[in-house]
């Protein structure tokens, strides 16, 4: 076996094969999720300390992190009045004097001695006119090292988190109490001895066209960069690699699924769609018309459609989906539309069912609320093809639901379903055109990373002229929000009161995740507001003369239908709920919403919630009541006051997110996205998208010999994702 092939296979070897990776250090690696040599090499530094740009003491800027080199002129240690220990050295260079101070590091008194050369990295302050650094990173150096000879550090001899050359750019790794950043650095260097020349899975023509360094060079320079340019080139290659494999993994997975199947080529006829227009009480917006045109063009093509319909809350995605459904029906086939909640599925039936009835299109609603007899009748009508359209929840993926000829699958809020749910429905007709819809605001760059080789349609404007104003208030003045509800009720309008959870004590961890899981979610404090308790509070103390109802996931299906029916008719004036009303609730007379403990929700979730009001012609108000929000939470919530457009809100949110924050939200595909920032790396993501499409057009199943390493890489990533 060729040496490079053997080294490439060694990447999968257990990390314990690396010299010094044993005992507590091995346990520490395992705790960090590092199981293989590859995991270790892809455990990239999260920060670098730049010791390479040394400045003179006299030129040190106040409050900035800088490196300075000097000779120790004085060193001493002493106990503090509170029993601690203070180590202090004074260093000099040709321009001045600097003091460095460390707390509770007694061992420094034996290490830092007069006459030695020391390199410090820290922020400079002044005290009594003398510049000083508190707890700077440091390392002792020699004249030989400064002349370019490398230093072989042995284990933990220095507190500085540096590379083999402490005068250069020092990587800092995420570590734990079992293994330090220094030891991770050492083990990475040891692993590179085992895998010094692995094969590069990115095709050579692609690397040349994008001016990317090899993986071998990139791994070396991201862990031990000599210059800032080397580090930038390494990061660029590895970040591109991550986003390329992410998109390629999804597209390759779809190509494998389509093996042996030919797509549905839907009719170009307009019999049903032309009959639909007079039945609608509104004209389609410009962006709705464009989305319909794009979707129908995809459906007429012989290739399988894979399109994502992104629309802000209230932008009219459902009616666009109806056009796709009618294209399937008038071609003689069936369509299925799956919703994440029973309420939303019922909303489909209530809003689209009457239109389908008028068009002579048969349909059925599949939910857990059906009786055994109703369920069996639904099975038979779907299986025989008697029913053309099936709306439903997870009930649609039951084994007994077998379509006669399913040509279109529509899934609303796809990220709310598990991978297995989505794929179980698709498996009922792998060649069916696929349309995913979401009201979660997703910029194009993020959509490409999350969903891969998918076409996107955006609904950018919302029908109607009503506006919604959002106001952040402290929980201490929540009465201001209740007063606004009282005024709305006096005008004959209605209101929502939303709580982060159902009842006290707080729900289990899994239940909490169910209610607060969100693409842009945050959960850093205990719950406070409970829907059941809030219902009692409102009924007894705030609105005793109005009918108030509770809607949560614990309410029985038949009661949910009754409550929603009464709320829509106006018999219920105030609806207290959890996030079950986040999607699928359309009550034009609801004009006020109060979200209690708003800092427990994510931005996208709050944006969707506020889309439940202002859906008619009347202007609406949303009050975000926050309980002790930190500065970060307050800044997030203020952005909801500033932005009403979901995409602008998402961009603002993503600007603050760390690299890799979107990892875990993807449905399928290649591994980590730890180096990717979807705002900063927008151009890179677009470039990778172009490259993926071009490569797969030439070789959809990566069967060519020159793509064998790429195929192996994707299979490895698929295994990592499934594990």
Name the DSSP letter for residue 278.
Answer: G
Cα 392 to Cα 499: distance, rounded to the nearest angstrom = 26
Cα 223 to Cα 417: distance, rounded to the nearest angstrom = 38
Name the DSSP letter for residue 395.
Answer: G
Answer yes or no: are the C-beta atoms of 298 and 307 closer than 8 Å.
Answer: yes
Mean pLDDT of 276-305: 91
**Burial of 564: CB neighbours in 10 Å, binned 0-12, 13-18, 19+:** buried
DSSP 37-53: HHHHHT---SEEEE-SS
How distant, in Å, are the alpha carbons of 279, 329, 404, 427, 428 from that of 388?
Answer: 20, 6, 10, 18, 15
Report the length, in residues, of the chain.
723
CB atoms inside a 10 Å sphere around CB 636: 24
CA dihedral 122, 126, 128, 133 (to 10 degrees): -10
Cα 113 to Cα 306: distance, rounded to the nearest angstrom = 68
Q: Using one digit for the tens of pLDDT, what is the confidence trace for 443-479?
A: 777 777 777 767 888 887 666 667 899 999 988 888 9
**Burial of 61: CB neighbours in 10 Å, binned 0-12, 13-18, 19+:** exposed
Mean pLDDT of 25-31: 96
Q: Which two tokens stand for residue 294?
A: 């794009």
Name the DSSP letter for residue 69.
Answer: E
Q: Which residue has the tokens 């605001």?
A: 441
Q: Using one digit for the tens of pLDDT, what is the confidence trace for 555-570?
A: 888 888 899 889 999 9
How distant, in Å, are the alpha carbons of 115, 416, 510 from that of 516?
Answer: 59, 11, 10
Cα 700 to Cα 256: distance, rounded to the nearest angstrom = 9
Q: Is 685 helix (H, G, I), strand (E, B) or coil?
A: helix
Pairing of strands 433-438, 130-134: unpaired
pLDDT higher than threshold 80 for residue 126:
no
Sign, Cα dihedral of 626, 631, 634, 636: negative
Q: Using one digit for the tens of pLDDT, what is the confidence trace for 136-149?
A: 988 888 766 665 43
Q: Is 135 helix (H, G, I), strand (E, B) or coil?
A: coil
Q: Which of 261-265, 300-304, 584-588 has maximum average pLDDT?
A: 300-304
Q: Which residue has the higher pLDDT, 195 or 148?
A: 195
Q: Which residue has the higher pLDDT, 528 or 236?
A: 236
SS3 track for 489-507: HHCCCEEEEECCECCCCCC
Mean pLDDT of 467-496: 93
CB atoms inside a 10 Å sphere around CB 101: 15
Q: Using one digit for the tens of pLDDT, what is the confidence trace for 360-396?
A: 999 999 988 888 899 999 999 999 999 999 999 989 9
pLDDT higher than threshold 60 for residue 155:
no
SS3 track for 643-684: CCCHHHHHHHHHHCCCCCCCCCCCCCCCCCCCCCCCCCCHHH
Cα 653 to Cα 605: distance, rounded to the nearest angstrom = 12
Q: Given pLDDT bands bounded at 50, 70 and 90, which one contains residue 194?
A: very high
Please tell me whether the overall predicted TM-score, pTM, comes out greater than 0.75 for this model: no
Who contacts 341 (Cβ-Cβ below 8 Å, separation ≥6)? 393, 580, 583, 584
Q: Which two tokens stand for residue 251?
A: 């597209």
Residue 330 phi/psi, 5-degree rounding, is -70, -10
Q: Where are the alpha helices (DSSP H) in 493-570?
A: 509-516, 531-537, 557-569
How distant, in Å, are the alpha carbons of 50, 139, 144, 329 from that of 149?
Answer: 18, 15, 6, 75
CA 624 to mean position of chain CA atoms: 23
Answer yes or no: are the C-beta atoms of 695 and 203 closer than 8 Å.
Answer: yes
Answer yes or no: are the C-beta atoms of 470 and 603 closer than 8 Å.
Answer: no
Q: Which residue has the tokens 């201490």?
A: 476
Cα 716 to Cα 710: distance, rounded to the nearest angstrom = 10
Q: Using one digit for the tens of pLDDT, what is the confidence trace for 305-318?
A: 989 998 877 788 99
pLDDT higher than threshold 80 for residue 638:
yes
Q: Which two tokens stand for residue 240?
A: 């591109």
Q: Residue 422: which of 413, 431, 700, 335 has the closest Cα? A: 413
pLDDT higher than threshold 50 for residue 515:
no
């Amino acid at each position: 076996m060729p040496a490079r092939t053997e080294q490439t296979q060694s990447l999968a070897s257990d990390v314990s094969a690396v010299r010094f990776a044993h005992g507590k250090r091995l346990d520490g690696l395992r705790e960090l999720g590092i199981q293989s040599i590859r995991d270790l090499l892809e455990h990239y530094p999260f920060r670098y300390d730049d010791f390479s740009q040394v400045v003179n003491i006299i030129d040190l800027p106040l409050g900035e992190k800088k490196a300075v080199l000097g000779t120790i002129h004085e060193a001493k240690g002493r106990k503090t009045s509170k029993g601690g220990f203070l180590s202090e050295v004074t260093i000099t260079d040709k321009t001045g004097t600097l003091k460095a101070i460390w707390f509770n590091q007694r061992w420094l008194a034996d290490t830092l001695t007069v006459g030695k050369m020391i390199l410090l990295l820290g922020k400079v302050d002044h005290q009594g006119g003398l510049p000083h650094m508190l707890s700077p990173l440091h390392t002792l150096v020699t004249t030989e090292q400064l002349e370019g000879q490398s230093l072989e550090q042995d284990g933990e001899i220095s507190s500085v988190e540096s590379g083999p050359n402490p005068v250069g750019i020092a990587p800092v790794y995420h570590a734990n109490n079992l293994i330090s950043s220094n030891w991770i650095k050492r083990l990475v260097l040891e692993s590179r001895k085992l895998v010094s020349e692995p094969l590069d899975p990115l095709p050579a023509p692609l690397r040349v066209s994008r001016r990317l360094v090899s993986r071998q060079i990139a791994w070396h320079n991201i862990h031990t960069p000599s210059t800032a340019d080397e580090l930038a080139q390494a990061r660029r290659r590895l970040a591109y690699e991550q986003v390329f494999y992410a998109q390629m993994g999804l597209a390759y997975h779809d190509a494998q699924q389509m093996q042996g199947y030919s797509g549905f080529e839907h009719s170009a006829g307009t019999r049903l769609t032309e009959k639909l227009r007079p039945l609608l009480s509104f004209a389609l917006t410009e962006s709705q018309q464009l989305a319909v045109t794009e979707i129908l063009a995809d459906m007429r093509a012989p290739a399988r459609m894979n399109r994502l319909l992104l629309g802000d809350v209230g932008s009219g995605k459902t009616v666009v989906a109806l056009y796709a459904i009618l294209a399937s029906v008038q071609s003689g086939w069936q369509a299925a539309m799956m919703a994440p909640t029973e309420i939303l599925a019922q909303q489909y039936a209530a809003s689209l069912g009457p239109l389908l009835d008028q068009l002579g299109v048969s349909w059925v609603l599949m939910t857990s609320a059906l009786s055994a007899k109703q369920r069996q009748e639904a099975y038979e009508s779907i299986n025989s093809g008697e029913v053309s359209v099936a709306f439903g929840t997870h009930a649609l993926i039951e084994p007994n639901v077998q379509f006669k000829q399913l040509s279109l699958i529509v899934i609303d809020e796809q990220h709310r379903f598990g991978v297995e749910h989505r794929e179980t429905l698709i498996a009922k007709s792998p060649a069916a055109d696929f349309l995913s819809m979401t009201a979660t605001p997703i910029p194009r760059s993020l959509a490409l990373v999350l969903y891969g080789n998918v076409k996107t349609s955006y609904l950018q404007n919302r029908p109607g002229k009503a506006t919604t104003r959002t106001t952040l208030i402290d929980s201490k003045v929540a009465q201001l929000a209740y007063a606004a509800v009282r005024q709305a009720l006096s005008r004959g309008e209605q209101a929502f009161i939303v709580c982060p959870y159902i009842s006290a004590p707080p729900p289990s961890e899994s239940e909490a995740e169910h209610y607060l899981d969100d693409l842009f979610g945050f959960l850093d404090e205990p719950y406070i507001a409970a829907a059941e308790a809030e219902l009692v509070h409102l009924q007894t103390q705030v609105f005793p003369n109005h009918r108030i109802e509770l809607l949560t996931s614990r309410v029985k299906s038949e009661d949910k239908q009754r409550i929603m029916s009464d709320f829509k008719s106006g018999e219920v004036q105030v609806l207290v709920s959890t996030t079950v009303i986040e999607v699928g609730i359309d009550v034009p007379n609801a004009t006020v919403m109060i979200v209690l403990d708003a800092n427990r929700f994510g931005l996208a979730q709050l944006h969707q919630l506020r889309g439940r009001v202002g859906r008619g012609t009347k202007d609406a108000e949303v009050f975000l009541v926050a309980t002790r929000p930190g500065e970060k939470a307050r800044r997030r919530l203020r952005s909801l006051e500033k932005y009403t457009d979901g995409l602008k809100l998402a961009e603002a949110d993503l600007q603050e997110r760390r690299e890799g924050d979107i990892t875990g939200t993807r449905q399928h595909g290649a591994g980590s996205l730890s180096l990717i920032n979807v705002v900063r790396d927008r151009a890179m993501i677009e470039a990778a998208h172009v490259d993926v499409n071009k490569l797969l057009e030439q070789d959809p199943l990566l069967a060519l010999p020159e793509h064998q390493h790429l195929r192996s890489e994707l299979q490895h990533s698929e295994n990592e994702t499934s594990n």
